[in-house]
Amino acid sequence: MRTGRSFHTLDKDLGRVTNTEAAQRHAFRPVWRLGLAVLLLVAALILATAFGLGNTDYAALAAGLIVAGWLGLAIGSNDVANSLGPAVGAGAIGLLPGLLLVALAEVAGASLAGGAVTDRLANGIIDARALTVGIEAQIVMLSALVGAAAWITTATGIGLPVSTSHSIVGGIAGAGMAALGTSAVEWTTLAIITSTWLIAPLIAGAVAGLLVIFVRLQVLDAADRAAAARVWLPLLVGAMSGLFASYLVLLARPRLPLLSTMPMVVPAGVAIALIGAALMRRKVNAELILSDGKTGSKRLFRPALLVAATMMGFAHGANDVGNVAGPLSVILAGSATTGSFVMPVGALLMAGLAIALGTLLFGRRLVVMVGSGITRLNAGRAFCVSLATAATVLASSALGLPVSTTHVAVGGIFGVGFAREWLDRRRNKSRSPMPAEETRRRMLIRRSHVATIAAAWVVTVPATALLGGACCLLILRLT
Who wins on pLDDT, 251 or 233?
Answer: 233
Q: Is the pLDDT of residue 15 over 70?
A: no
Q: Where are the domains of the chain?
A: 9-201+301-478
Who wins on pLDDT, 196 or 258?
Answer: 196
Separation of alpha carbons 194 and 188, rounded Å: 10
Taking residues 214-224, what's their average pLDDT?
85
The lowest-confidence range among 37-41, 224-228, 285-289, 321-325 is 285-289
Tens-place pLDDT, residues 402-416:
998 878 888 888 888
Angstrom CA distances, 243 to 153, 246, 263, 267, 422, stand at 38, 5, 15, 11, 29
Tens-place pLDDT, residues 111-162:
888 888 988 888 889 876 666 556 678 888 999 999 998 888 887 777 666 7
Tens-place pLDDT, residues 21-33:
666 666 666 777 7
The lowest-confidence range among 169-173, 247-251, 398-402, 474-478 is 247-251
The average confidence (pLDDT) of the chain is 79
In this prediction, residue 3 has a pLDDT band, given cuts at 50, 70 and 90, of very low
pTM: 0.84
Tens-place pLDDT, residues 307-364:
888 998 999 999 999 899 888 888 887 644 444 555 667 788 888 898 888 888 877 7
